Amino acid sequence: MAKVLCVLYDDPVDGYPRSYARDAVPRIERYHDGQTTPTPERIDFAPGELLGSVSGELGLRRFLEERGHAFVVTSDKDGPDSVFERELPDAAIVISQPFWPAYLTAERIAKAPALKLAVTAGIGSDHVDLAAAIERGITVAEVTYSNSISVSEHVVMMILSLVRNYIPSYQWVVKGGWNIADCVARSYDLEGMQVGTVAAGRIGSAVLRRLKPFEVGLHYTDRHRLPEEVERELGVTFHPDAESLVRVCDVVTINAPLHPDTEHLFDDALIAKMKRGAYIVNTARGKICDRDAIARALESGQLAGYAGDVWFPQPAPRDHPWRSMPHHGMTPHVSGSSLAAQARYAAGVREILECWFDGRPIREEYLIVDRGTLAGAGAHSYSPGDATGGSDEAARFKDRGPTSGSA
């Protein structure tokens, strides 16, 4: 018997849904590059249900308990007295989400001698200290591509929201106003602008494909250059580094994984090299941007807007400056957790666990760390090292206001 410890976000404040706005979500069998969507032997949920919260349990309880495993689900993940901290020492498997990450630091890994597998329900495993996982021989896996398109759609939405000044215009309606001049004084057309992505992997390239019809100039930088035929198809210009890209772009979208090479990439110095009045959209990881540098750039007018749904830590403390800085379009980390995405990443977690318990190989594209080394998607996207931490700071969110902390 194995103990499976799963950290998920809280249920809705009004309780777990009894019904949904739509009866179903579209069924997708393959992604753009031909990779198949998750293929577990079975699922015990209806696609379109809220699976990523505590009561949703990723649809795993029946599966795990039928096999004799213990299954602990909680949202209480931060601080020394959290449920996660108490349950971790004898857990063999930890499942977490990027949206509500259980930070598996080196210190926590040292307290978990039974830990063999860390699974990210979604994509992005930077909340795991990969260096410590490599040293301990812990397997790290994520459900690659499961919510990449969900995130890319969110990026396009946020770009348009910033450039067209959508959020303040909506707020005038809510307040009962009709203040057209106030709405359009910061509203521009995206048409004709230069838009660039930092990283052009699954999410970044999907953003480029979706932006091409907007008749903008497209740019990208990535340590893996796209094939020449793809560059021609998209009409995209390659830049050798982020500095070269940001100098020419009106809008920059960040779609890179977080690792020591990208941590705090967007600092005061890099932002100063951007066009005055440029926009940044960051749905990758909050720590790729220097928190205070972003706030300063919005205050000074160097940036016209900043939007995203990634913070550091997560959840963000209630006094996090990104909550109150001007001209922002921030949301909680929701871009990759649409109900359609949840169906895929829950099925992917089930597939990974079926393989693990049955002694079958986990898909290569799902692997981040395997047998003491970066592997699969991890070898392509990450650098060895540590960009974790944050649990103590995230605990301030809980300390300063009520959360359900369900277990």
Identify the active-site residue in 239, 285, 328, 396. 285
Q: How far apart are CA 52 and CA 343, in angstroms?
A: 9
Q: How far apart are CA 273 and CA 249, in angstroms?
A: 10
Identify the active-site residue in 239, 333, 344, 363. 333
Nearest to 344 by CA among 122, 105, 125: 122
Identify the active-site residue in 255, 282, 314, 342. 314
Q: How far apart are CA 110 and CA 115, in angstroms?
A: 9
Nearest to 281 by CA among 363, 159, 110, 134: 159
Residue environment code for 264-290, b if the CB has 16+ CB neighbours within 10 A, otherwise e: bbbeeebbeebbeebbbbbbbbbbbbb
Q: How far apart are CA 51 and CA 337, in angstroms?
A: 9
Residue environment code for 78-110, b if the CB has 16+ CB neighbours within 10 A, otherwise e: beeebbbbebbeebbbbbbbbbbbbbbbeebbe
Identify the active-site residue in 69, 97, 108, 147. 147
285 is catalytic: yes
Active-site amino acid positions:
147, 285, 314, 333
